Amino acid sequence: MDKVRTRFAPSPTGYMHIGNLRTALYAYLIARHNNGNFILRIEDTDQKRLVNGAMDVIYESLDAMNIKYDEGPKKGGPYGPYVQSERLSIYKKYAKKLIDLGGAHYCFCKNDDGTSQNIKDPCKLLSKKEVLKKIEDGEVPVIRQTISDDGFVEFEDEVYGKIKNEKKLLDEGVLLKSDGFPTYNFANVVDDHLMHINYVIRGNEYLSSTPKYNIIYNDFGWKIPKYIHLAPVMKDEHSKLSKRNGDASFNDLLNKGYLPEAILNYIVLLGWSPKGENEIYSLNELIKIFDVKGISKSPAIFDIEKLKWMNGVYIRNMDINHFMSLAKKYYSKWIQKNIDVYELSKIIQKRTEVLTDIPEMIDFFETLPDYMIDLYENKKMKTNFDNAKQSLIIAYKQLNQFRDWNSFEKLHDLLLSVPNKINFKTGQFLWPVRVALSGKEKTPGGAVEIAYLLGKEETLKRIKFGIKKLEGADK
């Protein structure tokens, strides 16, 4: 059997959306799973849509996901060039050949005269002589596909199964534009054949035009590849994820603090499901288990909540040093200078889902927020202004005498021994302390951790401030 060769063929629009990336990922996984090759090809045949730097977005995105291509632009390969705008002479040659084979014809119809209803293209009837004459007269033709009216075309899609179409319902689309560039409809067939692509993986918007491509393959006498059409990734029930809707691109997600591994893991599950119950997979594991059979036919809705969760899983499973190196970017200068970053990282790792959540989570270290006194009242902890004040006063006394601030253990033991002595429940005592130290209802870590990180001076200052606040409430 032939070596499996798949390709990812984006057009450089400057925006890598999730659906595209998923297509790339599937193509990559199918290739690697079968020990095949994965090819990158740039489809830049629409001169009007060229965007500066768009190619880089593609390279960078694949790179971030650690998807490596075997052949492609920059890297080269035996069937290059891999950028369509550099292959113009190839398309021209094959277009002419297709005309000779009866699979295409010149067309002189004007843009705006309804030629889209081209089921019967009048130019088809032009004789060779007439065509030549028109060209001599300076008319610039396009080359259109020629499709006979009789019979059916049928093909088998690996995910959708048998698809059958009536030939006479197929449009005779433009293959080569008047500017000399091919359309997608032609370039993809020629390139896929020339590059020996035997598995075509792409969005199912091409499902309806695939029969036309197959006719071209047949006219040339080329072998038709296997097709794997993918249902789209949706924003909601009605619309696709898209740039126009302002939906997040891969890069946006990265900037928002999502890890590439987590994004990759999440999007592979949009429209594909593995055999077992596990959902967390590395790229290498995916290569091992990816199976076309698990691809589903219906569209999947992108759910940021689940991505968040998955991102959290990746963060929690990370080595602490790795986490710290990633999290550091989100620590303010003040924090990096005044707080033990290693200990801080340990505390927040478990409760970080997205890296960008970090600043807000830890901002109280730098400046105590102007908090509401009601925070001291907590039903579950059985605290009220009165016993909170007591707790703070005692905490102040104890901590003021405490000298081993370098030892988290000792600080911990001290603070946890207090409630016993005064006949308070642990939470009853520690809740007000934490509130005084953080000014927040929820914090990463408890009172002990925060005190430890804050240091003696700041801790005492904040407790004193808390006591004052509560005294104010007495009056």
Partner RNA sequence: GGCCUGUUGGUGAAGCGGUUAACACACAUGCCUUUCACGCAUGGAUUCAUGGGUUCAAAUCCCGUACAGGUCACCA
Catalytic residues: 243
Which two tokens mark 89? 């002479």
Contacts of 241-247 with C-beta under 8 Å, sequence gap 24+, read 241/17, 241/18, 241/19, 241/302, 242/17, 243/13, 243/15, 243/17, 247/17, 247/18, 247/302
Q: Report in angstroms how near the CB of residue 142 gets to RNA at its nearest.
A: 5
- For the chain, how many helices (H) and strands (E)? 19, 11
Question: Judged by CB under 7 A, which of 130, 166, 374, 386 binds RNA?
Answer: 166
Quick note: the x/- pattern for RNA over 400-439, rule CB under 7 A, is ------------x---x---------xx--xx--x-----
C-alpha–C-alpha distance, residues 147 and 453, integer Å: 75
212 contacts 95 by C-beta, under 8 angstroms: no
Q: Report in angstroms how near the CB of residue 475 gets to RNA at its nearest.
A: 28
Residue numbers 439-458 binding RNA by CB under 7 A: 441-449
Q: Report in angstroms how near the CB of residue 362 gets to RNA at its nearest.
A: 12
Quick note: the x/- pattern for RNA over 333-372, rule CB under 7 A, is -----------------xx---------------------
* 53 Rama class: left (phi>0) / alpha (psi -120 to 50) / beta: left
Quick note: the x/- pattern for RNA over 251-290, rule CB under 7 A, is ------------------xxxxx---x-x-----------
65 or 347: CB nearest RNA:
347
Q: Report in angstroms how near the CB of residue 241 gets to RNA at its nearest.
A: 11
Question: Judged by CB under 7 A, which of 171, 219, 247, 261 binds RNA?
Answer: 171
Which two tokens mark 127? 């004789």
161 or 221: CB nearest RNA:
161
C-alpha–C-alpha distance, residues 449 and 454, integer Å: 9
How many CB atoms are closer than 10 A to CB 300? 19
List all residues 6 or more positions away from 409 whose beta carbon is below 8 Å from its beta carbon.
none
Task: Report the amino acid identity of residue 329.
Answer: K
Which two tokens mark 240? 């696709």
Task: Report the amino acid identity of residue 83.
Answer: V
274 contacts 45 by C-beta, under 8 angstroms: no
Residue numbers 117-156 binding RNA by CB under 7 A: 117-118, 142
Would you count residue 19 as binding RNA (CB under 7 A)? no
Question: Judged by CB under 7 A, which of 4, 6, 7, 9 binds RNA?
Answer: 9
Q: Report in angstroms how near the CB of residue 318 gets to RNA at its nearest.
A: 13
323 closest CA partner among 340, 305, 304, 344 = 344
Would you count residue 14 as binding RNA (CB under 7 A)? no
Q: Report in angstroms how near the CB of residue 352 gets to RNA at its nearest.
A: 8
Q: Report in angstroms how near the CB of residue 474 gets to RNA at its nearest.
A: 24
Q: Report in angstroms how near the CB of residue 419 gets to RNA at its nearest.
A: 8
Quick note: the x/- pattern for RNA over 212-251, rule CB under 7 A, is -------------------xx-x--xxxx-----------
Residue numbers 176-215 binding RNA by CB under 7 A: 177-179, 181, 183-185, 204-209
Question: Judged by CB under 7 A, which of 14, 34, 36, 43 binds RNA?
Answer: 43
Task: Report the amino acid identity of residue 25.
Answer: L
Stretch that binds RNA, among 46-54, 193-201, 325-333, 396-404 (CB under 7 A): 46-54
Stretch that binds RNA, among 90-98, 166-174, 320-328, 389-397 (CB under 7 A): 166-174
152 contacts 140 by C-beta, under 8 angstroms: no
Burial of 417 (0-12, 13-18, 19+ CB in 10 A): exposed
Residue numbers 69-108 binding RNA by CB under 7 A: none
* 402 Rama class: left (phi>0) / alpha (psi -120 to 50) / beta: beta
119 or 132: CB nearest RNA:
119
Rg of the chain over Cα atoms, rounded to whole angstroms, equals: 32
What DSSP letter does each residue of 296-344 carry, written as one string? -SS-EE--HHHHHHHHHHHHHTS-HHHHHHHHGGGS-HHHHHHS-HHHH
Q: Report in angstroms how near the CB of residue 409 gets to RNA at its nearest.
A: 11
Residue pointed to by tokens 């590439």: 260
Question: Judged by CB under 7 A, which of 138, 161, 221, 246 binds RNA?
Answer: 161
**From the centroid of its chain, how far is CA 5?**
24
Which helix H or strand E contains 8, and what residues bound it?
strand 5-8
Would you count residue 115 as binding RNA (CB under 7 A)? yes
Residue numbers 293-322 binding RNA by CB under 7 A: 294, 296-301, 303, 305-306, 308-309, 312, 316
Residue numbers 371-400 binding RNA by CB under 7 A: 380-381
List all residues 6 or more positions away from 257 whose beta carbon is below 8 Å from its beta carbon.
311, 330, 354, 355, 356, 357, 358
**From the centroid of its chain, how far is CA 321?**
25
205 or 386: CB nearest RNA:
205
